[in-house]
Amino acid sequence: MDFQIVLLLAQDGITNGAIYALLALALVLVFAVTRVIFIPQGEFVALGALTLAGLQAGRIPGTLWLLLGAGVVVALIDLAQALRSGSRRRIPRIIGWNLAYPALAAAAVTLLKPAEMAMPLQVILTLVLVVPLGPMIYRLAFQPLAEAPVLVLLIVAVAVHLALVGLGLLFFGAEGSRTPAFSDASYKLGGIVINGQTLWVVGASITLIVILYLFFEHTFYGKALRATAINRTGARLMGISTVMAGKLSFLLAALIGALSGILIAPITTIYYDTGFLVGLKGFVGAIVGGMVSYPIAAVGAVLVGLLESYSSFWASAFKEVIVFTLIIPVLVWRSLTTHHVEEEE
């Protein structure tokens, strides 16, 4: 193994690690705000990738049916609740977001000929289709359980994961898809070739992380999410509703997942169930950060990417084993160094 291979593997590892870092951040965010360990995070990666691939191939992506279906179910439940509690002023918003919006998205997909669009527009259309599924899933699966213990939320998260994988198979079929690279350029740097796609992935990940940082540090809603994560009762007393915070964090998680899928689709073939493994690797990163620390989670996820890349060179048959075994020493280290902190008053 010469130096060139080391660098090549590092490039690979950092590319994947950047994606895992994004997913790790989304997992930490969702856990902090809602206490849900969001197993279906990876499904959004697959949805993002397969939706983009479908649009480019001129098909109507199955995501559209998912969006329409989820919208109708959410609308029925919310309308029934609004009528029962007599709050009619909510009705226009419920219809707008859950029925009118998916209908508009359907019109866009069927009338605008997405296959002929420029790539950035296809990406935006993909996000338009995938991202609203996040808040809808929160509404259907987690909002009624907002006060439930973490274990119950975890079980529901597993159920949502299984349901989404099944729906993925139903709507996208068993064959995988790959999208063309954002850029075919390649740059020579000190004897190694750096792919344009690598730069895209790393650049987009860093940009997204910076945007998230600015959102949490400098905006009212970002701070409100942090406040909810720190003290739920305190946040409610400020008028920050738990439902609003939950939907917002799921929206961000869906956005991050879909973007990760769009970034990774030109690198690997994505199948309806690929997302799970990708999401789990992000989860290992999040565990390194103890599900609380954003920077440590991101660094941990990049390490996971590097470890995966080097172990695929030395022992490619055991690459997943090696990556997931990492959890054990990390957990031992965390349980030795972390002191149980009493809940902040």
Partner 1 sequence: MQNQHPHILEVADLCVSYGKVEALHHANLKVGAGQIVTVIGPNGAGKTTMLGAIMGLLPKNRGDIRFLGEPQAEIEVERMVAKGMSLVPESRALFGSMTVADNLLMGAFMRHRLGHRDHPETMERVFQIFPRLKERREQQAGTLSGGERQMLAVGRALMAKPKLLLLDEPSLGLAPLIVKEIFRVIADLKQAGVSILLIEQNARAALQVADYGYVLETGEIALEGPADQLANDPKVIESYLGLGGAAHAASSRSVPVANQGETA
Binding site for partner 1 (CB under 8 A): 85-87, 220, 223-224, 226-227, 230-231, 233-241, 344-345
Half-sphere exposure of 164 (CA within 13 A, CB side): 30
- Smallest separation, CB 240 to partner 1 (Å): 5
Q: Report, in Å, the least distance between residue 302 CB and partner 1.
A: 25
CB of 19: closest distance to partner 1 in angstroms?
Answer: 28
Rounded-to-integer distance, Cα 20 and Cα 31, Å = 16
Nearer to partner 1, 29 or 127 (CB): 29
Pairing relation of β-strands 192-195 and 186-189?
antiparallel
Of 151 and 220, which CB lies nearer to partner 1 in the complex structure? Answer: 220
Closest distance of CB 234 from partner 1, Å: 3
Closest distance between partner 1 and the C-beta of residue 150, in Å?
A: 20
Beta-bridge mates of residue 193: 188
Which residues neighbour 33 within 8 Å (Cβ) at sequence distance 6 or greater?
225, 228, 229, 245, 246, 248, 249
Is there a contact between 249 and 137 (Cβ–Cβ < 8 Å)? no
Question: Which C-beta is closer to partner 1: that of 118 or that of 341?
Answer: 341
Angstrom distance (rounded) from CA 234 to CA 104: 38
Tell me how far, at minimum, the Cβ of 89 lies from partner 1, in Å: 12
Helix axes 274-288, 150-172, angle to 10 degrees: 150
Return the number of the residue (231 or 268) whose C-beta is nearest partner 1: 231
Q: How far apart are CA 108 and CA 128, in angstroms?
A: 10
Other Cβ atoms within 10 Å of 163 Cβ, number: 14
To partner 1, the closest distance from the beta carbon of 209 in angstroms equals: 20
Q: Which is nearer to partner 1, 11 or 231 (CB)?
A: 231
Burial class (CB in 10 A: 0-12, 13-18, 19+), 100: middle
Question: 1 or 237: whose CB is closer to partner 1?
Answer: 237
**How large is the angle between the packed helices 3-34 and 220-230, nearest 10 degrees?**
80
Q: How far is the CB of 292 from partner 1 (least distance, A)?
A: 10
Nearest to partner 1 of 4, 219 (CB atom): 219
Half-sphere exposure of 97 (CA within 13 A, CB side): 18
d(CA 107, CA 117): 15
Q: Which lies closer to partner 1 via its Cβ, residue 59 or residue 223? A: 223
Supply the angle between the helices 196-218 and 242-264 in degrees, to the nearest 10: 170
